[in-house]
DNA sequence: ATGGTCGGTGTCCGA
């Protein structure tokens, strides 16, 4: 049987309704079969499903709330199954998943950003972030051995490597790159023997970012980025990984998201 | 060391 190509993009769009032109441009650039979006910021009834259907994405699982968070998977390929899961006892729309007919299960996460102060005793948002990661670790550790073909994508809001941030030293006490968060992300990675696919193609010695703050005067010249967006696969899919592309130019588009799309191509 | 900008909302919150 000939392997088919499946292409999966993750993108924190920071409002799906205001980013429809950007989504069309992303499709031009990367032509993904699946779009995994975060921060859609819209309730399900107002989600622009029509626009995605017009672009060829007829299958979907969405979980949205007013103003905040929100995740979605839009797909050209039908789902065998799909669902929404709550974390930390909150129905705050941070995870949707879908299993394709070839058995590949795609999990799309929006991990809490964690606020400004990296101390769980002082900052409830940081405590929530650590609890969320701990719950993910337990969830994937408790699932059956990673013989299954799983994909985990999303805005994990942690930049784990020194080369995943513009200055390791300057960001050691900045939420997203603190040692306690990096430890949690490492534990999550170990929980199901996940493989960080972007780093197969861009070695850890090289910088790689997927997010640049809106607040920089000139994001491109300053290049004070962080790699917050990730695409992981289980070992059963390692040999299927063909390429990973981070669409840095998207940060320079008109009315950009502060995150850029990251796309994985699988041969399965 | 500080402040800077978005998006959705509603006269601020979260990132």
Domains, in order of start, for chain A: 5-267 (3.60.10.10)
A66 Cβ nearer than 7 Å to chain B strand? yes
Return the closest nucleotide (C1') to the Cα of A128: B14
Give chain A's end-to-end CA distance (angstroms, integer).
Answer: 10
pLDDT per residue as tens digits for the range A30-54 = 999 999 999 999 999 999 999 999 9
pLDDT per residue as tens digits for the range A119-170 = 999 999 999 999 999 999 999 999 976 569 999 999 999 999 999 999 999 9
Query: Which of residues 195-214 of A have CB within 7 Å of strand B?
Result: 213-214
A41 Cβ nearer than 7 Å to chain B strand? yes
What are all long-range contacts of A144-148, with beta carbons under 8 Å and residues at least 24 apart? A146/A192, A146/A193, A146/A234, A146/A235, A146/A236, A147/A236, A148/A103, A148/A105, A148/A234, A148/A236
Q: Is the pLDDT of residue A83 over 80?
A: yes
A125 Cβ nearer than 7 Å to chain B strand? yes
pLDDT computed for residue A1 by the predictor: 57
Q: CA A215 → C1' B12, Å?
A: 18
How far apart are the C-alpha atoms of A17 and A76, rounded to whole Å? Answer: 20
């Amino acid at each position: 049987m000939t392997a088919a190509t499946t292409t999966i993009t993750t993108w924190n769009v920071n409002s799906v309704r205001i980013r429809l032109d950007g989504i069309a441009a992303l499709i031009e650039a990367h032509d993904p079969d699946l779009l995994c979006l975060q921060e859609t910021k819209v309730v399900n009834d107002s989600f622009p499903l029509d626009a995605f259907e017009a672009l060829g994405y007829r299958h979907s699982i969405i979980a949205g709330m007013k103003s905040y968070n929100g995740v979605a998977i839009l797909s050209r390929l039908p789902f065998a199954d799909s669902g929404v899961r709550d974390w930390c006892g909150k129905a705050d729309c941070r995870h949707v998943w879908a299993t394709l007919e070839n058995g590949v299960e795609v999990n799309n996460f929006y991990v809490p950003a964690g606020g400004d102060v990296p101390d769980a005793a002082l900052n409830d948002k940081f405590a929530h972030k650590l609890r969320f990661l701990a719950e993910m670790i337990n969830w994937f550790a408790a699932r059956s051995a990673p013989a299954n073909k799983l994909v985990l994508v999303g805005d994990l809001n942690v930049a784990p490597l020194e080369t995943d941030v513009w200055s390791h030293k300057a960001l050691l006490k900045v939420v997203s790159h603190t040692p306690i968060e990096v430890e949690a992300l490492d534990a999550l990675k170990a929980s199901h023997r996940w493989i960080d696919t972007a780093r197969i193609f861009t070695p850890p010695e090289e910088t790689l970012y997927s997010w640049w703050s809106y607040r920089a005067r000139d994001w491109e010249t300053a290049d004070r980025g962080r790699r917050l967006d990730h695409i992981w696969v289980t070992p059963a899919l390692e040999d299927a990984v063909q390429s990973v592309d981070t669409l840095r130019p998207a940060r320079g588009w008109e009315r950009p998201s502060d995150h850029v799309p990251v796309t994985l191509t699988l041969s399965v």
